Structure 1
């Protein structure tokens, strides 16, 4: 249970690794104020001697002061526009730093800091299609005709391989219009055996053994550029584009709310309140109380100054002005 996050820091050659049970859901908000506040925040979390299992890690960042590099991935509300706004704002609040998305998730961060000698691609799992929560777009061109599908994992499409593609395409229901929010996509051109994938989340090594699963195919990693898929299906399907202004408005509102009771600490706050009530009742009855705080409480919220908050608001406003 939780939204687990890792925070890694490198400074003066010294490595630090920290953990929060609730930090991944809005990790980007804790990074927005810039390198010094973000580092201070990261080091307030629980210090760790080892990385969590990759499948448990919902978000992570590397704050590398030596290389002036911020490498991160997180949920970002599962919204292209919000994520674009967060990255644009980070570029302003981290001046002189490289702000980069970790498309291969925690394993990419581990490789950068030298904690993994080999990256193993995940075991393929068939993507599901036709469910309400499917928000990843697959488009296919065959004999000049374009078809489209919604699945729950674009990266998993790579895992099924070319050999079994026809079986899945015949089982998936097609769509004729695209929902407003899509978080990833795969485009397959069966006529020339070329393909591309983009995501606003992570691929977690899905492209590492693509040559074995798709012999003779050429695959491209488009990063988060949904426009690449849109260009290839132009006229057949409209792929939604991120709205930076809308994302900035949502980011500003989330940042303000996050400073009061953020999503990462709301559950912990409720648990702490309930614990206080139970403790008071027990002690009023003359009982001796011992409280064990487990992972539900392993998160320390931000402690920003007014000036640090103002930096974030100024950066958001600056991006908003530049996009008009």
Structure 2
């Protein structure tokens, strides 16, 4: 299957070059962008012809560089940009590497690139694929603070200091975001292990308030067609928290925690990862 990514370049005349496909381009995609505009453009120009738009199922990352407008769009399924402990450091380093540029995260994946180009997002939709539900973790799982490929799902009254009727579940982030599942998710979580009052480095989350029939969701990766989520929850009010887990934490004070971030240590960790990624790429060339 590879780790496919799309790349698009708008040159000085705003002529569109691409989409190009790099079969392994999603690996270290965010780290490679730390090399700055010139190196990124060089990498895009080196990709061969015959590209096409990857759909929501197969596109694991994408980059669009608009040279005249100085805009960078990107997203990735994995990497430090999807880790709550490192994401802020990645974006701080990107602002340094791309001075004067607007850097945007594509929450809707490749569809956001198509919108930017004035094209139809349906080009990358695969409406025939059935959602893959993310399995809940069991009580035997003991490394919550060490793993980031997790979804934290909380159930209970919003903004209540009384947590007696609230619970916190952890799902492996190997399926679709649980926000796409609809009310059947509540039944599926009945009897699932309660991980309340744990620290967890989740890369996505969802809060459900069954009494008020409201929910809020967020993700540090992407959620294809986010505007379709409300239709999955008829009679519910859906709040988009995009890539802001702080709003989830505020909705359930004390029910779970994300790891505290040491900005200096996070920056150093990202720079080390970028150095290792550069060495990996040099070994491939």
Bin for the TM-score computed over the shorter chain: 0.7 to 0.9
Query: Which of 192, 201, 205 is the matching residue for 2:212?
Result: 192
> Would you say the 8 A contact 2:150–2:172 is kept in 1?
yes
The CA distance in 1 between the partners of 2:111 and 2:166, in whole Å, is 35
> Would you say the 8 A contact 2:55–2:110 is kept in 1?
no
How much does 1:73 deviate? 0.6
How much does 1:185 deviate? 0.6
Query: Which of 175, 178, 181 is the matching residue for 1:157?
Result: 178
SS of equivalent to 2:72: strand
How much does 1:242 deviate? 4.2
Length-normalised TM-score, structure 1: 0.73
The CA distance in 2 between the partners of 1:200 and 1:126, in whole Å, is 18
The CA distance in 2 between the partners of 1:214 and 1:33, in whole Å, is 42
How much does 1:38 deviate? 1.3
Larger Rg: 1
Structure 1: which 5+ residue stretches go unaligned? 270-300, 302-324
1:277-308 C-alpha deviation (Å, 9 max, x unpaired): xxxxxxxxxxxxxxxxxxxxxxxx6xxxxxxx
How much does 1:171 deviate? 4.4
RMSD: 2.5
The CA distance in 2 between the partners of 1:5 and 1:215, in whole Å, is 34
More helix by percentage: 1
Structure 2: which 5+ residue stretches go unaligned? 142-146
1:264-284 C-alpha deviation (Å, 9 max, x unpaired): x76xx4xxxxxxxxxxxxxxx
> Would you say the 8 A contact 1:84–1:242 is kept in 2?
no
Length-normalised TM-score, structure 2: 0.82
Q: Which residue number corresponds to residue 320 of structure 1?
A: none
SS of equivalent to 1:252: helix
CA gap 1:234/1:255 in 2 versus in 1, 3 angstroms = same
Deviates more, 1:217-226 or 1:148-157: 148-157
Number of corresponding residues: 264
Q: Runs of 4 or more off by more than 6 Å in structure 1?
A: none
After TM superposition, list the pairs within 5 Å mapping 1:243-262 onto structure 2.
243-262=262-281
